[in-house]
C-alpha cells in the first residue's frame, strides 16, 4: 500500500537525541560513553533510579539500539557508534532544546529583541552540553590537531568554559603549561576541579576575567605559544575598538613564533554542506543574541589591523565554523 | 586538517526543523506549503511582522534553502522538497518539542508517573502540529488509499481531532457522507469550521463524544462502510472490556461488506528501519502517558474476540505504525 522508503533517518536521529537527552538528565552519559559493559546495578547507582524504572529505561535504550546485550544477560554495552550518534544529537539538541526560548518567542525577539532578551534566557547547561556534543567531532578534533601539531610550551584558552579543551591539550602535551580564562565563576571552579581530576592541576591556571580585560592587562596571555579563542571573540565584535585591542594585546604578548587560533562561525556560509545549519546559527545569533558574526574577510582585516601578517582560515566539520590561525 | 564528511545530515535536519517551527509560530506555514511564489508583503501580512524583522527571517529561510528567489527579486518560492522537509521535521518536533515535558522530567515520570503526570502536561498544539507533519507521509497517505480504494458511502472517523483526514476523504469522494467523533469540544468546533471552508459541510457531521461511549450508544457508527480509528484505540486498551465493547459495537454497526480500519503503533518494533523511533514512541507512551501499546498479536486477538474473521495488518512509513483492516 504505502511506499516504505528510506526517509525515516529523521525519525532515527530524533529518537536517539531524545533518549540521549533523557539519559544525560539522569546522569547516565558517562556509562554510555565508556567502552566497557555496564550492569543494571551500575545504571541504578548512577541514575538513582530503582527497579522497575531503571529496567524500563534500559529496555528503551536496548530497543533503540543505543545499548546492546553484552556477553551475558547481566551486562550491557553501549553501541559501537555511540560517539557518532552523540555528535549528531548535538545538532538537534542545540537547535531544538538549548535554543528553545528563541524559537518559542521568535516573534518577540524579531519585534523587540531587547525586551525579549531581558525576559527569555537560554539554560546555560543545555547550551554547554549540546555544544560539547557538537564539538566532539564538529570542531574540537580540528582545533586539537592544529594546536598539538605546534608543540606549544604555553597555551592560553580564552573563554575556556569548564576547561575541557585545555585539560585535554595538557594531558596530550606533558611538558606544557596552560591558562584558562573565563568570565564565569562557576565555569572557573569547575575547570579547576576537572584539571585536578585529570592530574594536570599543577600545570593549569585559572583566571576569572573577561576577554575584554586583556586590553588593559594582557598579563594572562603573556609569553603564550598558542592563544586559543573558541566562539568567544564574536561577543566583542560589536565593539570594533575592543576587538582590535584584544587582538593587539594577544599579538604583542605572544612568544616568538607563537600564534593566535580563533575558532568561530562565519555568517550565512553558502555551500550546500553548510547553508542550512549556518543560516540557523547566523539567524539565532543575530535575532536573539545580538551578535552579528563577522565574515571571513572581516576576520582577516581585523587580524591585519592588529599587525598579524600570516592568517589562514580552514573550515571545520560544524557547518559555518572556521579555524583562523594568525601569526607574526 | 579535519575530515569534512557527510555526517552533518543531522545539522541540516535540525536547522530545517527550527526554522519551520519558527515559521509555524509566526503563521507562515500556509505560505511555505503553497506552490505559488510569495512576496515580502504577503509574508509581513501573514506574520504581522514589520521590516526589518520580516526581511531578517526571510534572509534565514533563503540562506537555509527552504525558500528560493523567484523569477524577479520581489518573489520568493518555497523549495521544491518542502513537503519532505516538513515530514522529516515532524519527527524532530514531536520527539524534542511536543514531548519536551516528558524528556525534561524523565526521572520524575520514571519514579512517580501519577504525580508527574498531574504536574507536567504536553502542549496540545505542539502535539497536533508535529503529528500532522509526521502524518503527511508517515500514515495519512496509506490510510487514505486504504479507505478511498473501498469507495465507502459512509465514513466514520473516531478520535477525528480537527477533522483533517475525514474532510480530505469527503473532498476525494463526492458522493460520500461522514461523521467525525471527538472528545474535545475545541477540536469538534474546528472540524465543523474546516468542513465548511472545504465545502463538504453538508455531508459532514460532528459528534462530541468519547470512543468509549459507543459501548452504550453505537448510533454514531451505524451503517458505516468504513470506521477509522487513528492512534485513539490505544487509549482504551488499558480497560480490555471497554476495548472489546467498542470493537463489538463497531462490528455490529457496520454496513454489509464494511470494515474497521485502525491505525496505531505496535510496541518495540524490532527491525532496523523501525527500532529507534519505535523504542522512543513505546517508552514515552508507557512511562509518561500510561499507555501500554498492544502488540500486533494483541490486536488480532481483540478483533477476533469482537467477531471479526478477516484481519490484515500492514506497516506504514512511520516506524512502528500499522494499519489494521478488520472485516466480516
Percentage with pLDDT > 70 across chain A: 98
A10-58, pLDDT tens digit by residue? Answer: 999 999 999 999 999 999 999 999 989 999 999 999 999 999 999 999 9
C-alpha B177/C-alpha B187 separation (Å) is 19
Q: How much is the mean pLDDT over chain A? A: 95
Quickly tell me which residue has 505496535 as its cell.
Answer: B266
DSSP bridge pairs for A265: A321
B144-154, pLDDT tens digit by residue? Answer: 999 999 999 99
Choose among B57, B61, B317: nearest Cβ to A110: B57
Q: Is there a contact between B230 and B199 (Cβ–Cβ < 8 Å)?
A: no
Quickly tell me which residue has 464494511 as its cell.
Answer: B258
Cβ–Cβ gap B280/A316 under 8 Å: no
C-alpha B271/C-alpha B95 separation (Å) is 20
Cβ–Cβ gap A287/B56 under 8 Å: yes
Q: Is there a contact between A326 and A259 (Cβ–Cβ < 8 Å)?
A: yes
Sheet holding A75-78, edge to edge: A38-39, A75-78, A67-69
Our CA-based measurement puts residue B179 at a distance from the nearest CA of chain A, in whole angstroms, of 25
User: Given CB atoms, is B316 within the 8 Å cutoff of chain A?
Assistant: yes
Cβ–Cβ gap B7/A84 under 8 Å: yes
A111-165, pLDDT tens digit by residue? Answer: 999 999 999 999 999 999 999 999 999 999 999 999 999 999 999 999 999 999 9
A234: confidence class by pLDDT, cuts 50, 70, 90:
confident
Q: What's the first-to-final CA gap in chain A, in angstroms?
A: 67
Domains of chain B, CATH where assigned: 10-85 (1.10.10.10), 139-327 (3.40.50.150)
Grid cell digits, residue A143: 582545533
Q: Looking at the predicted structure, is the pLDDT value of residue A203 above 90?
A: yes
Phi/psi for B180 (5° steps) reads -105, 120
Helix (H, G, I), strand (E, B) or coil at B76: strand
User: Given CB atoms, is A147 within the 8 Å cutoff of chain B?
Assistant: no
**What is the rounded average pLDDT of the residues B215-244?**
94
User: Given CB atoms, is B60 within the 8 Å cutoff of chain A?
Assistant: yes
Cβ–Cβ gap A63/B279 under 8 Å: yes
CB pairs under 8 A between A and B: 263
Q: Looking at the predicted structure, is the pLDDT value of residue A183 above 60?
A: yes
B306-328, pLDDT tens digit by residue? Answer: 999 999 999 999 999 999 999 98
**What is the rounded average pLDDT of the residues B93-122?**
97
> B277-288 as b/e, with b when 16 or more CB fall inside 10 Å?
bbbbbbbbbbbb
**pLDDT score recorded for residue A237:** 85
Q: Tell the burial category of B73 from Cβ atoms under 10 Å away from its Cβ (0-12, 13-18, 19+).
A: exposed
**pLDDT score recorded for residue B328:** 87
Quickly tell me which residue has 539567524 as its cell.
Answer: A283
Our CA-based measurement puts residue A29 at a distance from the nearest CA of chain B, in whole angstroms, of 14
**pLDDT score recorded for residue A3:** 42
DSSP bridge pairs for A39: A75
Q: Looking at the predicted structure, is the pLDDT value of residue B85 above 50?
A: yes
Q: Which residues of B touch A144 (CB under 8 A)?
A: none
Grid cell digits, residue A16: 536517539
**pLDDT score recorded for residue B3:** 43
Q: What's the first-to-final CA gap in chain B, in angstroms?
A: 67
Give the DSSP H/E element, type plus range, for residue A62.
helix A53-64
**pLDDT score recorded for residue B238:** 83
Give the DSSP H/E element, type plus range, for residue A25.
helix A9-25
**What is the rounded average pLDDT of the residues A258-268?**
98
**What is the rounded average pLDDT of the residues B10-15?**
97
Q: Point out the least confidently predicted range of A205-209, A281-285, B122-126, B233-237.
A: B233-237
B2: confidence class by pLDDT, cuts 50, 70, 90:
very low
**pLDDT score recorded for residue B72:** 93
Grid cell digits, residue A278: 549556518
Q: How would you classify the pairing of strands B75-78 and B67-69? A: antiparallel
Rg (CA), chain B: 21
C-alpha B308/C-alpha B325 separation (Å) is 10
Phi/psi for A311 (5° steps) reads -130, 125
Instruction: Measure the CA dihedral B83/B86/B87/B91, to 10°.
Output: 170
Instruction: Measure the CA dihedral B92/B98/B101/B102, to 10°.
Output: -70
Would you mind telling me the total number of residues written for chain B in this entry? 328
Q: Looking at the predicted structure, is the pLDDT value of residue B1 above 90?
A: no
Q: How much is the mean pLDDT over chain B? A: 95
User: Given CB atoms, is A24 within the 8 Å cutoff of chain B?
Assistant: no
Q: Looking at the predicted structure, is the pLDDT value of residue B7 above 70?
A: no
User: Given CB atoms, is B145 within the 8 Å cutoff of chain A?
Assistant: yes
On whether the pTM is more than 0.90, the answer is: yes
**Number of neighbours of residue B211 by Cβ within 10 angstroms:** 22
C-alpha B56/C-alpha B51 separation (Å) is 8
DSSP bridge pairs for B204: B178
**pLDDT score recorded for residue A226:** 98
Q: Is there a contact between B243 and B215 (Cβ–Cβ < 8 Å)?
A: no
A6: confidence class by pLDDT, cuts 50, 70, 90:
low
User: Given CB atoms, is A118 within the 8 Å cutoff of chain B?
Assistant: no
A235: confidence class by pLDDT, cuts 50, 70, 90:
confident
**pLDDT score recorded for residue A2:** 39
C-alpha A133/C-alpha A149 separation (Å) is 24
Grid cell digits, residue A190: 569547575
Amino acid at each position: 500500500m504505502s511506499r516504505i522508503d528510506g526517509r525515516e533517518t529523521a525519525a532515527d536521529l530524533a529518537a536517539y537525541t531524545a533518549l540521549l537527552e533523557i539519559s544525560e538528565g539522569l546522569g547516565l552519559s558517562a556509562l554510555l560513553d565508556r567502552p566497557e559493559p555496564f550492569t543494571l546495578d551500575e545504571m541504578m547507582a548512577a541514575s538513582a533510579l530503582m527497579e522497575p524504572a531503571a529496567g524500563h529505561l534500559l529496555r528503551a535504550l536496548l530497543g533503540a539500539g543505543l545499548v546492546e546485550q553484552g556477553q551475558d544477560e547481566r551486562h550491557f554495552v553501549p553501541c559501537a557508534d555511540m560517539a557518532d550518534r552523540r555528535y549528531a544529537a548535538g545538532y538537534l539538541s542545540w537547535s531544538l532544546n538549548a535554543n528553545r526560548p528563541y524559537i518559542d518567542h521568535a516573534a518577540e525577539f524579531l519585534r523587540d529583541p531587547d525586551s525579549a532578551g531581558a525576559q527569555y534566557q537560554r539554560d546555560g547547561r543545555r547550551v554547554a552540553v549540546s555544544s560539547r556534543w557538537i564539538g566532539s567531532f564538529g570542531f574540537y578534533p580540528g582545533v586539537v590537531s592544529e594546536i598539538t601539531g605546534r608543540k606549544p610550551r604555553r597555551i592560553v584558552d580564552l573563554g575556556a568554559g569548564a576547561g575541557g579543551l585545555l585539560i585535554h591539550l595538557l594531558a596530550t602535551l606533558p611538558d606544557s603549561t596552560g591558562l584558562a580564562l573565563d568570565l564565569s565563576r562557576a565555569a572557573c571552579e569547575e575547570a579547576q576541579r576537572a584539571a585536578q581530576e585529570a592530574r594536570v592541576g599543577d600545570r593549569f591556571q585559572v583566571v576569572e576575567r573577561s576577554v575584554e580585560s586583556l586590553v588593559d592587562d594582557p598579563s594572562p596571555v603573556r609569553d603564550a605559544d598558542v592563544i586559543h579563542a573558541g566562539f568567544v571573540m564574536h561577543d566583542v565584535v560589536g565593539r570594533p575598538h575592543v576587538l582590535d585591542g584584544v587582538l593587539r594585546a594577544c599579538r604583542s604578548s605572544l612568544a616568538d613564533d607563537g600564534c593566535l587560533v580563533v575558532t568561530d562561525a562565519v555568517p550565512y556560509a553558502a555551500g550546500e554542506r553548510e547553508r542550512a545549519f549556518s543560516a540557523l546559527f547566523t539567524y539565532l545569533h543575530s535575532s536573539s543574541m545580538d551578535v552579528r558574526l563577522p565574515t571571513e574577510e572581516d576576520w582577516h582585516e581585523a587580524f591585519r589591523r592588529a599587525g598579524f601578517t600570516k592568517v589562514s582560515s580552514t573550515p571545520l566539520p560544524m557547518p559555518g565554523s572556521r579555524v583562523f590561525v594568525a601569526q607574526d
